[in-house]
Amino acid sequence: MIPVMGVDGATVAVLGLGRSGRTAARALAAGGASVVAWDDGPAGRAAAEDEDIALRDLSRPGALDDVAALIVSPGIPHLYPRPHPVIAAAWEAGVPVDNDIGLFFRSLGQSDWDSHDVAPKVVAVTGSNGKSTTAALIHHVLREGGRESQLAGNIGRGVLDIDPPGDGGVVVLELSSYQTELARSLTPDVAVFTNLSPDHLDRHGGMGGYFAAKRRLFAEGGPDRCIVGVDELEGRFLANQLAESRADDRVIRISADRKLAEGWSVTARKGYLSELRKGRQVGSIDLREIKGLPGAHNHQNACAAYAVARTLGLGPRQIEAAFASYPGLPHRSQLIAERGGVRFVNDSKATNVDSAAKALAAFGRIRWICGGLQKEGGLGGLLDAAGGVVKAYVIGREAEAFAMSLTGIDAEVCTTMADAVARSAAEAEPGDVVLLAPAAASFDQYDNFEQRGEDFAARVAALA
């Protein structure tokens, strides 16, 4: 655990008692704080009581009178579409509001950093799509290269729940816009921006607010090295803002769809990764046969992970060997079975149009299982990527409306996962891919995208 610094003797309130909230409460207590906590749901309060975390209804008048800071879990809105009443009360009372990410960065290394021969590093990854795979791939490459690495944040363990890193150790964080937007301290050594596409727009008041939340990771703490995906306008803007000159190698540009000439860059075109410095190729990897990284979207993730590994001193051949052994993440273009020449791929994490489009672009003849709670913006941007779809099998509470929006695609309303798997498997031919890439949230039928993916895998396993 990372004890929180600067809170000894203070009363600190925690709002939201999921995993990150309870971990923050323990880390605050380890730092000497008197912790009071609240969750709007009875399940969260019960979990806190099981861990002897003191409860206080923070919505009551005067509940914040003795509180030095309010720590908020990432799922709780603090600005758009409207602030939670407790957060609004904290503003009125002048109580600073922060989250566990801010506590982590202000506390890491305060006590024993000088004892290391090689200072530990923090790598932070953000973006709309691919950040989980990128963070996990960085972690895998470092471990395979003999480096100490811990994976935390929006994936793996809570940031305050990790062990203090050892000599030369690396902490790899996946950070969502919810986490970067509120954190008062953001000081990674290496920061990664994968890409940007519309998501969580109600939470951030539109695309401008969403991008601003991501950009804070680079603007607030001044990382030593910035790795920026430049396949969208926002990435090109960010890279230009960060670089002092065309040759500034503190900024590494990455791309999966364009040739880059300036400075230090890593690109993946037609399945080949190339590292260029000052216009000269200094490293390359053939990504086409790496099963854990299918498709151009995963090749962009590979570019980001490669750039981080090079920044941290690993050689191209070390990275290539680690890529080859990467198993992939559950629910992200995960090959779960192959039967009679038909592959079954679970990309339940494709909860928005952009991520689903990238999954569709990774394969040839596709039997596409899709549907769920549709997000803002419709499916227009997805249809251009659906050229490989032989047929769609639509699930979800609003399957019929979802199917009608798939203009030009043969779509069958199945409603349930069981029917969709059975129908797609019965109609699939050798060489086809049965792909779960919903392009929608899961909450109409499942608690989360993981549960949806597990249901898909179970239905595939049960096929005769």
Q: pLDDT per residue over 330-366, tens digit each?
A: 898 888 999 999 999 999 999 988 889 989 988 999 9
**pLDDT given for residue 110 in this prediction:** 64
Domain finish residue from 324, 355, 389: 324
Range of the domain at 314: 103-324
pLDDT of residue 191: 98
Alpha-carbon distance 254 to 300, whole Å? 7
Structure tokens that stand for 402 in this block: 């979802």
Mean pLDDT (whole number) for 116-133: 91
Radius of gyration for the chain, computed over Cα atoms and rounded to the nearest angstrom: 23
Residues 249 and 266 placed together within one structural domain of the fold: yes
3-state secondary structure of 462: coil
Residue 173: closest CA among 212, 134, 143, 210: 134
Cβ-based burial of 47 (10 A; exposed 0-12, middle 13-18, buried ≥19): middle
Q: Is 354 helix (H, G, I), strand (E, B) or coil?
A: helix
Give the mean pLDDT of 293-300: 88
Answer yes or no: are the C-beta atoms of 70 and 59 closer than 8 Å. Answer: no
302 with 155, same domain: the answer is yes
Q: Which of 40, 67, 98 is the last residue of a domain?
A: 98
Query: Does the structure show a pLDDT above 80 at 430?
Result: yes
Q: Which of 109, 21, 112, 108 is nearest to 71 (CA)?
A: 21
Bridge partners of residue 269, in order along the sequence:
272
Q: 2 lies in a domain?
A: no
Residue 5 lies in a domain: no
Which residues are annotated as part of the binding site for ATP?
127-133
| Residue 381, token pair as written in the block | 């941007």
Q: What pTM value is reported for the model?
A: 0.85
Q: What is the CATH number of the domain that holds 87?
A: 3.40.50.720
Q: Which run of H or E residues covers position 281?
A: strand 280-286
Rounded to 5°, the CA angle 8-11-13 comes to 125
pLDDT of residue 113: 67
Reduce the secondary structure of 406-431 to three states and give it as a string.
Answer: CCCCCEEEEECHHHHHHHHHHHCCCC
Q: Do 245 and 239 touch, CB atoms closer than 8 A?
A: no
In a domain, 6, yes or no: no
**Per-residue pLDDT at 358:** 86
Binding-site residues sit at: 127-133
CB neighbour class for 279 (10 Å; exposed up to 12, middle 13-18, buried from 19): exposed
Question: What is the tens place of the pLDDT at every residue in 392-402?
Answer: 999 999 999 99
CB count in 10 Å sphere of residue 295? 19
- Structural domain count of the chain: 3
Do 349 and 453 lie in one domain? The reply is yes
- The answer to whether residue 114 sits within a structural domain is yes
Q: pLDDT at position 345, please?
A: 94
Q: In this structure, is residue 1 part of a structural domain?
A: no
Instruction: Please report where in the chains the tokens 């939340």 appear, as a residue.
Output: 213
**Residue 232 reports pLDDT greater than 90:** yes
327 Cβ neighbours under 8 A, 6+ residues apart: 292
Residue 256 belongs to a domain: yes
Confidence tier at 439 by pLDDT (50, 70, 90): very high
pLDDT of 328: 83
Does 226 score more than 80 pLDDT? yes
Q: Is the bond into 81 cis (omega within 30 degrees of 0)?
A: yes
Answer whether residue 324 shows pLDDT above 80: yes
> What confidence score (pLDDT) does residue 112 get?
66
CA dihedral (23, 154, 369, 271) positive or negative: negative
Are residues 121 and 189 in contact, defined by beta-carbon separation less than 8 angstroms? yes
Q: How confident is the model at residue 61 (pLDDT cuts 50, 70, 90)?
A: very high
CA 43 to chain centroid, in Å, comes to 26
**Which of 279, 296, 324 is the C-terminal boundary of a domain?**
324
| Tokens encoding 274 | 């190339």
Give residue 64's pLDDT band: very low, low, confident or very high (50, 70, 90). very high
Give the CATH number for residue 405. 3.90.190.20
Both 308 and 171 in one domain: the answer is: yes
Same domain, 298 and 342: no
What is the rounded distance in angstroms from the CA atom of residue 114 to the CA atom of residue 40?
42
Q: Which residues contact 52 (CB under 8 A, 6 or more apart)?
A: none
If asked whether residues 356 and 449 sit together in one domain, one would say yes
Residue range 110-122, pLDDT digits in tens:
656 677 788 899 9
Q: Is the pLDDT of residue 156 over 80?
A: no
Please indicate, yes or no, whether residues 266 and 397 belong to a single structural domain of this protein: no
User: Which residue(s) pair with 71 in the sheet?
Assistant: 14, 98
